[in-house]
Chains A and B, each alone.
Chain A
Amino acid sequence: MKARVKVMPKKSVLDPQGVAVRDAVAQHGLPQVSSVRIGKFMEIEVGESGPEAEAKLHEICRDLLSNPVIEDYELEILA
């Protein structure tokens, strides 16, 4: 089973990296840029598959790959 995990800082959490990159984008020809948010993208390959493995992946996303205090995750299961 292959999975993709996207982890993004919550909207309510200041993302200083995003702010710095936003300012750089403005200086690179898009002065009207209003927001840049920076997160993480992970590709995961596991031997297991099926609903149990998917549930386990969600658990791992919540407990390890993201910190729910400051981040949200999206899990996409590929074939």
Chain B
Amino acid sequence: MKAAVIRFPGSNCDQDCYHALQESFGVPTDYVWHKESSLSGYDLVVLPGGFSYGDYLRCGAIARFSPIMKAVVDHANAGGLLIGICNGFQVLTEARLLPGALVRNRSLHFICEHRFLRVEATDNPFLSTTQVGQVLNVPIAHGEGNYTADAATLAELEANRQVLLRYCDAQGNITEAANPNGSASNIAGICNAARNVFGLMPHPERACDPRLGSTDGKVIFQSILNTLGFRAVA
């Protein structure tokens, strides 16, 4: 299998994603510049975190119109696996590949710290190696991660089990205190109805190496690789 990490001007978690895939799992991974137009031959496409186009206008609003995004949309529509992390999640909502939007954190502060996430659904390619209720320790680093959507959209996400991760406390309780940014229903990550596009604000790629304090992010990449039938060499 092969993975692509898309690079926009202002992406800054591209190397983290590359390291997680290539070094932690041995997955052949390429950087793909935003001006490219093809993603043929890639089984997994990653939209990394950062500040694409300086977050001008709205986070992800301009990146969404980058030349590569047509190929990203085609990849998703063809059923290819696509994961957007942090700014990548914002790009996916702007591109309407995922519903809702990410607005300014309730506190107005940029928050950079480890948080606990509870697995909400495992019948998807991104969390298939986990258990519902499992608690993951994964860092967040964002100023605009407050997930919002209208009531009908939220109800649909819940009914279809598209909410994959919620912010929780260390014991897995979904509480207001455990919600770092004001996200509706403590939502940290969602997938599309077809379950091949996953967007999340936390950074699993920063939790794949024991030197970084947690390896809980590995389960997400492991789930993806299992889905694609890739045996890790690491």
A interface vs B, CB < 8 Å?
Answer: 9, 12-14, 16-17, 20, 64-65, 67, 69-70
A17 CB contacts on chain B under 8 angstroms: 104, 108
Contacts A67-B94, A69-B100 aside, 15 further interface pairs with beta carbons under 8 A come to A13-B148, A14-B106, A14-B146, A16-B103, A16-B104, A16-B106, A16-B107, A67-B58, A67-B101, A69-B101, A69-B148, A69-B149, A69-B150, A70-B101, A70-B148
B103 in contact with A70 (CB, 8 Å): yes
B182 within 8 A of A: yes
Bound: A69/B59 CA distance, A: 14
29 sampled A-B residue pairs with Cβ under 8 A: A9-B103, A12-B150, A13-B103, A13-B148, A14-B103, A14-B106, A14-B146, A14-B148, A14-B182, A16-B104, A16-B105, A16-B106, A16-B108, A17-B104, A64-B57, A64-B61, A64-B62, A64-B65, A65-B57, A67-B58, A67-B94, A69-B93, A69-B99, A69-B148, A69-B149, A69-B150, A70-B101, A70-B103, A70-B148
Residues of B with Cβ closer than 8 Å to A? 57-58, 61-62, 65, 93-94, 99-101, 103-108, 146, 148-150, 182
Nearest B residue (CB) for A20:
B108
> In whole Å, how far is B162's beta carbon from the nearest beta carbon of chain A?
16
Contacts of A69 in B (CB 8 A): 93, 99-101, 148-150
Cβ contacts under 8 Å, A70 to chain B: 101, 103, 148
CB distance from A67 to the nearest CB of B (A): 6
Cα distance A12–B103 in the bound complex, in angstroms: 13
Contacts of B61 on A, CB cut-off 8 Å? 64, 67
Residues of B within 8 A of A67 (CB): 58, 61, 94, 101
Nearest CB in chain B to that of A13: its residue: B148
CB distance from B134 to the nearest CB of A (A): 30
CA distance A17 to B146 in the complex (A): 13
Task: Please indicate the chain A residues that have their CB under 8 angstroms from the CB of B99 in the complex.
Answer: 69
**Are A16 and B182 touching (Cβ within 8 A)?**
yes
Closest CB-CB distance, B52 to chain A, in whole Å? 14
A16 to chain B: which residues have CB within 8 Å? 103-108, 146, 182
In the bound complex, how far is the Cα of B104 from the Cα of A70, in angstroms?
12
**Nearest-neighbor residue (CB-CB) of B100 within chain A:** A69
Cα distance A12–B148 when bound, in Å?
10
Report chain B residues within 8 Å CB of A13: 103, 148
